[in-house]
Amino acid sequence: MVPGTLTAIEAAAVIRRGGVIAYPTEAVWGLGCDPLNATATRRLLSIKRRSVDKGLILVASHLDQLHGFMDLGSLARERLEKVLSTWPGPHTWALPAGSAAPAWITGARFSIAVRVSAHPAVVALCDACGHALVSTSTNRAGEPPAHRQEALDPALLQKVDGVLQGETGGMERPTLIRDAASGAVLRE
């Protein structure tokens, strides 16, 4: 049975109970859960058929929600200013991981990919949760991501606990991931 569409408050309640939801982001539909809940994150990875070694993106509505997950103090001042000047917005940066970043989020890396979003559905969801969320595309590894809710794989949706109402932000491609220390593009 495919789960029903939820408001941000309802979706946040599902996430607080350890659930996994599908939700719209800037370009594609994402899968999300509480990044500090190892069981929920491992379930999300299983649904997606993704290796924990690859790491996951965290998305937030405010920089404060990423506190501890990343080490901003290790960046050169001009690089930090560049990162902060792009937020909120559709810009994902790989930053040195902070002490609160669990291995099931960073994977086999010493960095963590993070974004402070301006997308209304993402902002509402993070605000309702009160913290950052895992953000990875709602598709099985190796398959194309869905840009519209109607394109979501029904078999995959049967494995999540809810779908946040809303639409993607209309970007054609998922956000770039850039290295905060160098500015190099890590994902086109």
Conformation bin of residue 166: beta by default, left when phi > 0, alpha when psi is -120 to 50: left
**Contact 44/20 with Cβ under 8 angstroms?**
yes
DSSP state of 39: H
The predicted pLDDT at position 2 comes to 57
- This prediction's pTM: 0.94
Q: What DSSP string describes 133-146?
A: EEEEESS-TTSPPP
Per-residue pLDDT of the chain (188 residues; tens, 9 = 90+): 456 789 999 999 999 999 999 999 999 999 999 999 999 999 999 999 999 999 999 999 999 999 999 999 999 999 999 999 999 999 999 999 999 999 999 999 999 999 999 999 999 999 999 999 999 999 998 899 999 999 999 999 999 999 999 999 999 888 899 999 999 999 87
